[in-house]
A and B are shown apart, each in its own frame.
Chain A
Amino acid sequence: MKRRRKKILAIASGGGHWIELLRLQPAFSGSDVAYVTVQRDYAADVPGHRFHVIHDATRWSKASMLMMAGQLLLVMLRERPDVVVTTGAAPGYFAIRFGRWLGAKTVWVDSIANVEELSLSGRMAGKYADLWLTQWEHLSGTDHLEYAGAVL
Chain B
Amino acid sequence: MIFVTVGHQMPFDRLIRVVDAWAEREGRADLFAQIGDGAYWPSCFQAVPFLTPRQFQQRMERCSAVVAHAGTGTIIAALQLGKPILVLPRRADLAETRNDHQFATARHFAGSGMLLVGYNETELAARLADVETFQPPSLLSDAASPRLTQRIGAFIAAA
A28 to B143, CA, bound (A): 12
The segment from B15-23, B41-49, B71-79, B125-133 found at the interface with A is B71-79
**Interface flag for B101 (CB, 8 Å):** yes
Binding site for B on A (CB under 8 A): 6, 8, 14-20, 23-29, 31, 39, 41-42, 44-45, 58, 82-83, 85, 104-105, 107, 109, 111-116, 119, 130-131, 133, 135, 148-152
- Main secondary structure, interface of A, reads loop
**Interface flag for B25 (CB, 8 Å):** no
Binding site for A on B (CB under 8 A): 7-9, 52-54, 71-74, 76-77, 101-102, 104-105, 107-108, 140, 142-153, 155-157, 159
Inter-subunit contact A82/B159 (CB<8 Å): yes
Cβ contacts under 8 Å, A83 to chain B? 155-156, 159
Closest to B153 in A: A27
Known A23-B142, A26-B143; judge A151-B101 contact (CB<8 A): no
- Shortest distance from the beta carbon of A138 to any chain B beta carbon, whole Å: 11
- The list of the 10 closest CB pairs from A to B, nearest first, reads A149-B147, A16-B73, A16-B72, A115-B104, A149-B148, A148-B151, A27-B152, A149-B145, A27-B149, A105-B159
Inter-subunit contact A149/B77 (CB<8 Å): no
Show 16 residue pairs from A and B whose CB-CB distance is below 8 angstroms, ordered by the A residue: A15-B71, A18-B73, A20-B72, A23-B142, A27-B150, A29-B153, A31-B156, A45-B53, A83-B159, A85-B152, A105-B159, A112-B72, A113-B72, A148-B151, A150-B144, A151-B76
